[in-house]
Amino acid sequence: MPTINDDEFGAITVRRSARATQVRLRVAPDGTLRASMPVYAPLFLLKRLVKSSRPQLRKMLAQAQPVTAYTDGQQIGKSHTLIVKRGSAKLNATRNKQHIIVELPEGYSLSDAEVVRKVRDASLTALRVEAKSYLPKRLQYLANQLGFRYNKVRFSHASSRWGSCSSEGTISLNIALMKLPFELIDYVLIHELAHTVELNHSEEFWKLVAIGDPLYKQHRKVLKGEAPSI
């Protein structure tokens, strides 16, 4: 099926149907967005719907994420630690410097859905802070070392993509990259930088990736076992 690419949500699969009377968006079982629209409808209607529905789409994608199991003392990203304070008067989860503080009243546990949502929101904040601090500098360093040029960097939390590159040279990076080992982060950054030259996955594209990451096949295989969900 054809797709459109969105800087935040990644590839959106488009299905045209003679029975469809309007443009609709839903979350597929694999965590990606899928659109259904009338055969005659122009694509700009779908793009306009995505643009106007970003808050709702983020909420839909978040609700579709698998439940994450959190533990006291867990490392979040590269520099944050989850700290649980039990017996608190009110349920809360906040980022405080290099900690994510979870205040649990009596009767609550880390596996409760409400607690997981609050911890996830605080974790997203922590990962976004880390991503904005580390990823642009590392991307620029790799671009300078390898001779690539790009336009600008954006941050997202797409449910199924670690990164993307537009035809205008805008690189979108998933804040969940901060969960990965540094060598896998570099692989994703080099992958997207290579797309500034080759907007495809041709043999020439992979040659560019190999120049920056000779172990890219190994890193690519490992990355397939990871998921951007938080």
CATH number of the domain that residue 146 is part of: 3.30.2010.10
Rounded to an integer, the average pLDDT of 218-223 is 96
State residue 25's pLDDT score: 94
State residue 202's pLDDT score: 95
How many domains, in total, are found in the chain?
3
Which of 88, 112, 127 delimits the end of a domain? 127
DSSP helix/strand/coil, 211: helix
Same domain for 46 and 31: yes
Pairing assessment for the beta strands 92-96 and 99-104 based on DSSP bridges:
antiparallel
d(C-alpha 23, C-alpha 3), whole Å: 14
Same domain for 94 and 39: no
State residue 198's pLDDT score: 95
Query: How does residue 5 score in pLDDT terms, banded at 50, 70 and 90?
Result: confident
- Residue scoring higher pLDDT (224 or 1): 224
Same domain for 168 and 208: yes
State residue 59's pLDDT score: 82
Residue keyed to tokens 């978040």: 62
DSSP helix/strand/coil, 159: coil
Q: What is the pLDDT of residues 113-144, one digit of tens each?
A: 889 889 999 999 999 999 999 999 999 999 99
Same domain for 118 and 137: no
Same domain for 59 and 89: no
By the 10 Å C-beta count (0-12 exposed, 13-18 middle, 19+ buried), 145 is classed as exposed
Rounded to an integer, the average pLDDT of 83-101 is 96
What are 18's two structure tokens?
Answer: 């003679």
Residue ranges making up the domain that contains 26 = 3-64
Residue 177 neighbours by CB under 8 Å, 6+ apart = 131, 135, 162, 163, 185, 188
The answer to whether position 229 is within a domain reads: no
Same domain for 145 and 107: no
Same domain for 182 and 148: yes
The answer to whether position 69 is within a domain reads: no
Is it the case that residue 78 has pLDDT exceeding 70?
A: yes
pTM of the predicted model over 0.95: no
Provide, rounded to the nearest whole percent, the portion of the chain with pLDDT above 70: 96
Is it the case that residue 83 has pLDDT exceeding 80?
A: yes
The answer to whether position 22 is within a domain reads: yes
Residue type, 91: L
Same domain for 140 and 193: yes
d(C-alpha 57, C-alpha 14), whole Å: 16
Which of 35, 64, 93 delimits the end of a domain? 64
